[in-house]
């Protein structure tokens, strides 16, 4: 029976619909066949595997829950389990998909006009075009609502001026979803900028220690003209950006779930195969204790992630619930991969063994889509009614 993974200790497939189970199986088979053999090479070279894009396109997951416009209209649980299965084998690949689908496409679906949805979503759903999503700036990371890029109204469109940092997929994206401050209303607006627009420069950020396959860029927009038709009509304040983030945080929470599953599966196998002191590593109590701690984490992470999806499907999920899911799951995943790294001994620091790569990949995930701290504060504000993002005056 599927899945044969030892990390599925509580038989998670029972929680999925037959369609979600079938998708899970399809994604697992594809990534194990197509992604697993090449991921370390690309990770080490910090290059993006363009050869994989048609194979990822065949999975039919881009666009996730979006209905129509060539998108798959999956349940959020189905979409999430697909992300976890990709992350189980390679986190960078799952980040590539998430930036494109759960951030950029979702913003167009939630905040775009009918014409914009018809124009952009069908080719994005097939990965014929690739998108990125630019919120973070060099001077505004956690304090994203204070962003400084400006959008000035001119005849027939807008002039965008400013900088973005860390933007995944941006070095090769066909379209860039960019947030900027309207110079008249002082509110945040959203825009679609095309690749090669005059005044747009993207430079790859080098020397990352995690998610090395993902191409993150520093973007400079020097008086980039965006026609009126490419302003996202539904982004009129930072609250609209937050609507996208609340959903994408659910999806991002499934990356650490998948990563931890992959690490657990790998460690379980390794401990049974390698011997020291005349016995398999699995026979030592200290090793078993670590393995069981990892297993417990994976079960709890999955169940919280699954419940979050159900709350979303019910229409009652709150931003605080999404943030708690993202922050808590990522924290437990960080602990899990660290234990896994330890269990593999010296091989735990070699990227060839999956665990070291997962260990490094967890670090940026702990930080992006709201750091652990910022997501904690979002939940803290919701449960206490008091915002504590700014130091007391």
Give me the residues that bind ligand FAD (CB under 6 A), please.
99, 133-136, 141-142, 166-168, 211, 216, 364, 367-368, 371, 373-374, 377, 389
User: Tokens 């999503």 appear where?
Assistant: 133
> Closer CB to ligand FAD, residue 305 or residue 380?
380
| The token pair that represents 211 in the structure block | 């998610």
Report the residue number whose CB is nearest to ligand FAD.
141
Nearer to ligand FAD, 3 or 64 (CB): 64
CB of residue 130 vs ligand FAD: minimum separation in angstroms?
Answer: 12
* Distance separating alpha carbons of residues 6 and 215, to the nearest angstrom: 32
Least distance in Å: CB of 99 to ligand FAD? 5
Query: Residue 316 CB, nearest distance to ligand FAD (Å)?
Result: 26
Q: State which residue, 50 or 389, has the beta carbon closest to ligand FAD.
A: 389
Which one, 79 or 171, has the nearer CB to ligand FAD?
171
Of 304 and 374, nearer to ligand FAD (C-beta) is: 374
Burial of 286 from C-beta contacts in 10 A (0-12 / 13-18 / 19+): exposed
**Minimum distance from CB of 283 to ligand FAD (Å)?**
39
Cis previous bond, 111, omega within 30: no
Question: Would you call 322 exposed, middle or buried from its count of C-beta atoms within 10 A (0-12, 13-18, 19+)?
Answer: buried
To the nearest whole angstrom, how small is the minimum distance from the Cβ of residue 282 to ligand FAD? 34
Residue spans of alpha helices (H) in 173-237: none
Question: Closest separation between CB of residue 374 and ligand FAD, Å?
Answer: 5
Q: How far is the CB of 216 from ligand FAD (least distance, A)?
A: 5
At CA 111, angle to CA 152 and CA 329, rounded to 5? Answer: 115
Closest by CA position to 89, among listed 52, 57, 60: 52
What is the enclosing helix (H) or strand (E) of 166? strand 157-168
Among residues 94 and 216, whose Cβ is nearest to ligand FAD? Answer: 216
**Contact between 193 and 157 (Cβ < 8 Å):** no
In contact, 158 and 235? CB cutoff 8 Å: no
Helix, strand, or coil here: 186? coil
Q: Which is nearer to ligand FAD, 166 or 264 (CB)?
A: 166
């Amino acid at each position: 029976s599927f899945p044969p993974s030892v990390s599925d200790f509580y038989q998670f497939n029972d929680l999925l619909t037959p369609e979600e189970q079938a998708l899970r199986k399809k994604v697992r088979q594809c990534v194990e066949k197509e992604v697993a053999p090449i991921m370390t090479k690309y990770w080490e070279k910090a290059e993006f595997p363009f050869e994989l894009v048609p194979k990822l396109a065949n999975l039919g997951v881009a666009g996730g829950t979006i209905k129509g416009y060539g998108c798959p209209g999956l349940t959020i649980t189905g979409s999430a389990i697909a992300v976890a299965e990709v992350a189980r084998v390679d986190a960078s690949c799952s980040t590539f998909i998430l930036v494109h689908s759960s951030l950029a496409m979702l913003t167009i679906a939630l905040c775009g006009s009918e014409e914009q949805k018809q124009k952009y979503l069908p080719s994005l759903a097939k990965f014929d075009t690739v998108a990125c999503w630019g919120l973070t700036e060099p001077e505004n990371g956690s304090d994203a609502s204070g962003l400084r890029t400006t959008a000035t109204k001119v005849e027939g469109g807008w002039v965008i001026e400013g900088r973005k940092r860390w933007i995944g997929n941006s070095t090769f994206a066909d379209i860039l979803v960019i947030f900027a401050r309207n110079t008249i209303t002082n509110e945040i607006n959203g825009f679609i900028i095309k690749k090669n627009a005059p005044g747009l420069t993207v430079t790859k950020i080098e020397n990352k220690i995690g998610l090395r396959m993902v191409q993150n860029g520093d973007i400079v927009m020097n008086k980039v003209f965006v026609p009126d038709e490419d302003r996202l009509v539904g982004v009129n304040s930072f609250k609209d950006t937050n609507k996208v983030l609340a959903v994408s945080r659910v999806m991002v929470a499934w990356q650490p779930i998948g990563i931890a599953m992959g690490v657990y599966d790998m460690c379980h196998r390794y401990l049974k195969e390698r011997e020291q002191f005349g016995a398999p590593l699995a026979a030592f109590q200290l090793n078993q204790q670590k393995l069981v701690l990892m297993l417990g984490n994976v079960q709890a992470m999955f169940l919280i992630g699954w419940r979050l999806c159900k709350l979303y499907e019910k229409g009652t999920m709150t931003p605080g619930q999404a943030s708690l899911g993202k922050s808590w799951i990522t924290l437990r995943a960080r602990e899990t991969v660290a234990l896994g790294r330890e269990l593999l001994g010296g091989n735990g620091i070699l990227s060839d063994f999956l665990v070291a790569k997962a260990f490094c990949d967890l670090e940026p995930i702990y930080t992006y889509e709201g750091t652990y701290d910022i997501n904690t504060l979002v939940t803290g504000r919701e449960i206490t009614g008091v915002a504590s993002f700014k130091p007391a005056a």
